[in-house]
Amino acid sequence: MTFDLTPEQDQLRDAVRALGRRYGHGYFVEKAKAGEHTTELWAEAGRLGYLGVNIPTEYGGGGGGITDLAIVCEELAAAGCPLLLLVVSPAIAATVLTRHGTEEQRKRHLPGLADGSQKIVFAITEPDAGSNFHRLGTVARRDGDGWLLNGRKCYISGVDEAGHVLVVARTEDAGTGKLKPALFLVPTDAAGLTRSKLDMEIVSPENQFLLYLDDVRVPADALLGESLDAGLPALFAGLNPERITVAAMGAGTGRYAIERASEYTATRKVWGGRSIGSHQGVSHPLAHAAVQVELARLMIQKAATLYDAGRDLEAGVSGNMAKYAAGEAAALAVDTAVQVLGGAGMTTEYGVATLLGAVRAGRIAPVSREMILNFVAQHVLGQDKSY
């Protein structure tokens, strides 16, 4: 297996880096504090084809893979613009549609996702289910030709920016009486779908919401895929892209923080003519964080390479490990950056403390570090499941 990027991927990395740097962390924070979205950045990334790199060319995308999308996620984050909706819309929603949507659904939604004019967000988490998705309580019942959805979702990102929410519900299988998951493309302005914004301690232009589904009626073709049997594989199809791209975002954020901190410590002088970075009490924590970020990047490349080669099971193990490693490395890098910047670390101007909330959340969402450790313990180490 080689992790070398192709010349096109190298060019993509350089081009996305340049785009991200033109906007930068100042823009990201300004938008967040004004309660606005990164509309201009998203639109430009869409126009340049970066949001659709993993979408097949026949639907307006670049025909690449998750390796390409991970590059986009990492480089924008490394420029100080960690966009969570890249993980939700192009990574999860576009993959699920490409792999399991009907041809009509692909034609209707993928071109808009590819050029950035449309976003589809993803709603699985529920107040009473949390990490235990088997307890999902959102129910879909047949209603004439269509479906009636009822339930509650929480922490759903980007609903205010999206045209549709991909809602994970359960439906009663008439044949067996068993409950099985089904995914529905629900317009965000559907009657009966209401939302309230959650106050989160994260500096981000992207918001999280509680969603209330009260007798939301959707037509038959809102059900993702050709039949109810598409639900379970569709749900699993989104997992690897989600873990790999969120890990890439974490690695990029870690790189950004280390770069900001290194620039500062190399020039700040408070003891005679020596920079504070010459003191190993300052440089070693930074170097340690750099090692952790680089290790995470290696695992991300492995996971993305396996995924793009169609080796989904192996990509599952590597993707989970990459997400764990990058989540921890990003949190370490940002915390270390704040520390070595001293008081400047806590200012908005130096642009590192503004990431504390985001990297802390990255150890919880979209899958918590504990649930990844459960996965590794069970599937890699052969331990019994505790739950």
Token pair of 329 as six digits: 């490395």
Residue 247 near ligand FAD by CB under 6 A? no
Residue 385 CB, shortest distance to ligand FAD, in Å, is 9
Q: How far does CA 73 lie from the centroid of its chain?
A: 8
Residue 364 near ligand FAD by CB under 6 A? yes
Residue selected from 32, 156, 247, 257 as contacting ligand FAD according to rule CB under 6 A: 156
Q: Verify cis geometry, omega within 30 degrees of 0, for the bond prior to 366.
A: yes
Among the listed residues 311, 325, 334, 324, the one whose alpha carbon sits nearest the alpha carbon of residue 368: 324
Please state whether beta strands 208-218 and 193-197 pair in parallel, antiparallel, or not at all (unpaired). Answer: antiparallel
Distance CA 203, CA 217 (A): 35
Residue number closest to ligand FAD, CB atom: 130
Binding string, residues 287-326; x marks residues near ligand FAD by CB under 6 A = ----------------------------------------
Q: What is the DSSP letter of 349?
A: T
Residue 125 near ligand FAD by CB under 6 A? yes
Of the pair 121, 276, the CB lying nearest ligand FAD is at 121
Residue 193 near ligand FAD by CB under 6 A? no
Are 213 and 150 in contact, with CB atoms under 8 Å apart?
yes
Residue 249 near ligand FAD by CB under 6 A? no
Residue 330 near ligand FAD by CB under 6 A? no
**What phi, psi does 190 have (nearest 5°)?**
-65, 145
- Report the alpha-carbon angle 253-40-26, nearest 5: 45
Are 238 and 122 in contact, with CB atoms under 8 Å apart?
yes
Total chain residues near ligand FAD (CB under 6 A): 23
Residue 365 near ligand FAD by CB under 6 A? yes
Residue selected from 5, 43, 371, 377 as contacting ligand FAD according to rule CB under 6 A: 371
> 3-state DSSP call for residue 341?
coil
Residue 378 near ligand FAD by CB under 6 A? no
Q: Which residues lie near ligand FAD (CB under 6 A)? A: 88, 121-125, 130-131, 155-157, 202, 208, 361, 364-368, 370-371, 374, 387
